[in-house]
Amino acid sequence: MQTLINYSRKYGSDPELVLAGGGNTSMKENGVLYVKGSGCALSTIEKDNFVAMDIAKLRAIVNNVYPDNDSAREAAFLADMSAAKLPGEEAKRPSVEALLHALFPQRYVLHLHPALVNGLTCGVDGEKAAAELFPEAVWVEACKPGFTLAKLLSDKLNGRNTVLLQNHGVFFAADTEAELAGLLGGMLAKLSARVTEAMPAVLPDVDISKPFTPDHIVYCGLGPVLPDTDNARLLYKDAQKINWYSGFFGGPLPLKQELVDFITHWEAESYRKKKSN
């Protein structure tokens, strides 16, 4: 558990890797997944901020058949996720990405949203560049988060330790903290080598109505005015960096409107449920 807390804080404190309540981590031990609670900041995480869940129950969820309707499916999925919490954990809400963590066979999982990596995942040629640079990684095209994403990943994962999620971020999985550091460091080095110019001090403005990732929707809103909060400003700067980095990967590719609409609705539902708990 101390290893999990250590690397969560270490990577969670680096603004080049993750911002605000974004990103998450987990550990597996004796059939139990300890995964970050929804919305907690990694940089200051404590033992109690992790939710203990039954791995076998979580993994069984990907085989469930749910309704096609978005809100009916997500409600059923959330109920099943909730039922996978260990006794005593009822009051906690796990990360929405908990099931993705459970699908990796490795002991430790690290999920981050680095601007440099998202220059690739939000680039028009991102998939092509990923295949060249990281042939060992799984590429998952942008899709609805929650059950749809978990299902898609479970079909593609096959024991691999690196997953790039288009318009979202990256997952690394390893049995030791040193291996995790190696995977992250190796990816950042390869991407940095592709970025052949120094980042200008003043970056071009971006259109917040065309967000790159779910984080930008959650913290920046969709405009026309940026919310007057520190997190909104942080994520706006992040979007400017992604926009600039994406120039080395074929140019910027914002989230599809269909996904923006889904996430806007989904986040609202999550928030409402959280408040009513």
Judged by beta carbon, residue 169 or residue 211, the one nearer Zn ion is 169
Q: How far is the CB of 216 from Zn ion (least distance, A)?
A: 12
Q: CA torsion angle for 226, 120, 260, 227 (degrees, to 10)?
A: -10
Measured CA distances, 17 to 53, 115, 117, 152, 153 (Å): 26, 7, 9, 25, 22
**126 or 169: CB nearest Zn ion:** 169
Name the residue nearer to Zn ion (CB basis): 162 or 198: 162
CA distance 46 to 217: 27
Q: Cβ of residue 30: shortest distance to Zn ion, in angstroms? A: 26
Find the shortest distance in angstroms from Cβ 179 to Zn ion: 21
Conformation bin of residue 158: beta by default, left when phi > 0, alpha when psi is -120 to 50: left
| CB 72 to Zn ion: min, Å | 24
* Structure token digits, residue 175: 């049995």
User: How many residues form the binding site for Zn ion (CB under 5 A)?
Assistant: 1
In the complex, minimum distance from the CB of residue 160 to Zn ion, in angstroms, rounded to a whole number: 18
97 three-class SS? coil
Give the x-and-dash track for 110-149 against Zn ion (CB under 5 A): ----------------------------------------
Contacts with Zn ion in 155-174 (CB under 5 A)?
Answer: 169
Which residue, 171 or 245, has its beta carbon nearer to Zn ion? 171
DSSP three-state, residue 161: coil
The distance of closest approach from Cβ of residue 94 to Zn ion in the complex, given in angstroms and rounded to an integer, is 13
Give the residue with the Cβ less far from Zn ion, 87 or 144: 144
Distance CA 8, CA 2 (A): 10
Q: Which is nearer to Zn ion, 53 or 98 (CB)?
A: 98
DSSP annotation string for 64-87: ----SSHHHHHHHHHHHHHHTBPT
Q: Which residues in this chain contact Zn ion in the complex, by CB under 5 A? A: 169
